[in-house]
Amino acid sequence: MVLLSAATGVGVAAQRGGGTRIQAGQECPPGATEVRPGNCMAPSDAPPSILDYRPRNTLVVGEHKVPKAKFPAIDVHGHPGNVGSADAINRLVGIMDSLNIKVMLVAENVSGSRLASSMAALNASPHKDRFRVLAGIDFSGVGPGWGERAAKQLEADLKAGAIGVGEVPKSFGLRVRKADGSRLRVDDPELDPLWQAFARLDVPAFIHTAEPQEFFQPLDYTNERWLELSLFADRRNNQPGGPTFEQLMTERNNMFRKHPKTRFVAAHFGWHANDLGRLAKLLDEFPNVTIEAGAILYDLGRQPRAAKAFLEKYGDRVMFGKDAFIPEEYPYYWRVFETTDDYFEYYRDYHAFWKMYGIGLSDETLKKVYYKTALRVFKGLPQTGWPQ
């Protein structure tokens, strides 16, 4: 203790202020931090809330902002809102040009007449090859005969111009009810005729299953997504009686396994971006599955070495997708993928209270992630005019 006291003023204060002792393996009580092994101390000034603590970053290091992607990109997870008018399309194309997004896949999960009106506006536009459209699935009333009807609707939507289906929303698995009132499981056998139709028609199903795993955990101070769950109460999937994260993963994988000839795209890295070893295993087990990168940048950017190793190995199974259409957020993706910058800001505090690091992907992998994998998976994308 003499050494400790002599080393720093903090040690002295900890002793004088009667720092709390803890045993090995214990945590300090709330409001205190472990200043030396076994010794907890509370700050003398009231600490700021996590919202108000905004330390200036004093790290001086190279910065390479990337406003435009290095290679033309396909955003397979586009939620551009309305593409039903020439004005809306022209405005979108201007933004896409500024970011080097060559094609956006409109993943608004629409079917029938809503799909037809988007297709009509696009077909009348000089920019029609800047977009492709995914159809939707209407999961209401699943019961006997539903699968065959859904397969017919899929066929009609493809005839109308869709090149696949998506984004099948997270409500499938979490909230959608069957005709009999029970939760519609992702691996429900009534859906089999529909998944078989995807194989027969040779188009992919782009599906969002579950949510980040912390959304299923209690809202306490150990939850990485505390701020997000506190801001957006409807994202809490931790209510008793609801499906767990693991239950949804099991159901999803059952679906992948049961339909090996159907090509599935797991949105959001299948929510395994925080566990790339698990994701690698999934891709090894299911050759019919590819993944897209929407809304998981915060997990890649905090593990640049592991993410680089993963993407260099599995780049032909990975597609760029952004999800929310907020133009100023795309350059964060380009910067994480393309540079080796250290410790830079991410765009949403409530996703990540940490900083990003660049992965520095090779050109060949960038091309795969930005467009080559998508061109292979979504055969209806414009296939010509891409760099080799």
Residues that bind Zn ion (CB under 5 A): 208, 267
* Closest residue to Zn ion: CB criterion: 208
Min dist. Cβ of residue 271 to Zn ion (A) = 10
Instruction: Tell the smallest beta-carbon distance from residue 323 to Zn ion (Å).
Output: 6
Find the DSSP H helices in the chain: 2-7, 9-16, 86-99, 112-123, 146-159, 171-174, 192-201, 226-231, 245-258, 276-285, 297-300, 304-314, 330-338, 363-367, 373-377
As to burial, measured by CB atoms within 10 angstroms (0-12 exposed, 13-18 middle, 19+ buried), residue 246 is exposed
Q: Encoding tokens for residue 216?
A: 């299923």
Of the pair 167, 187, the CB lying nearest Zn ion is at 167
Q: Residue 227: which of 237, 211, 214 has the closest Cα?
A: 214
Nearer to Zn ion, 190 or 214 (CB): 214
Neighbours of 341 (CB within 10 A): 22
User: Nearer to Zn ion by C-beta: 77 or 308?
Assistant: 77
Residue 77 or 368 having the CB closest to Zn ion: 77
CA atoms within 13 A on the CB side of 64: 17
Q: CB nearer to Zn ion: give 323 or 338.
A: 323
Nearest distance from residue 20's CB to Zn ion, in Å? 45
3-class SS of residue 110: strand
Report the residue number, 225 or 367, with the smaller CB distance to Zn ion: 225
Q: Where does residue 219 fall: left (phi above 0), alpha (psi -120 to 50 degrees), or beta otherwise?
A: beta
DSSP string computed for 133-182: EEE----TT-STTHHHHHHHHHHHHHHTT--SEEEEPTHHHHT-B-TTSS
Q: How far is the CB of 278 from Zn ion (least distance, A)?
A: 19
Q: Are strands 39-41 and 33-36 parallel, antiparallel or unpaired?
A: antiparallel
Nearer to Zn ion, 188 or 323 (CB): 323
Residue 42 vs 273, nearer CB to Zn ion = 273
**Cα distance between residue 194 and residue 200, in whole Å:** 10
CA-to-CA dists, residue 293 to 145, 154, 272, 299, angstroms? 35, 25, 11, 10
Q: Which of 355, 351, 357, 387 is nearest to 372 (CA)?
A: 387
Smallest distance from Zn ion to CB 208, Å: 4
> SS3 for 231?
helix
Question: Which one-letter DSSP state was computed for residue 50?
Answer: T
Minimum distance of Zn ion from residue 321's CB (angstroms): 9
Taking the complex as a whole, the smallest distance from the CB of residue 35 to Zn ion amounts, in Å, to: 43
Nearer to Zn ion, 245 or 357 (CB): 245
89 or 104: whose CB is closer to Zn ion?
Answer: 104
Q: How far is the CB of 31 from Zn ion (least distance, A)?
A: 38
Q: How far is the CB of 211 from Zn ion (least distance, A)?
A: 9
Torsion of CA 251, 193, 375, 76, to 10 degrees: -50
Smallest gap from Cβ 205 to Zn ion, in A, equals 14
Query: The tokens of 304 are what?
Result: 């640049």
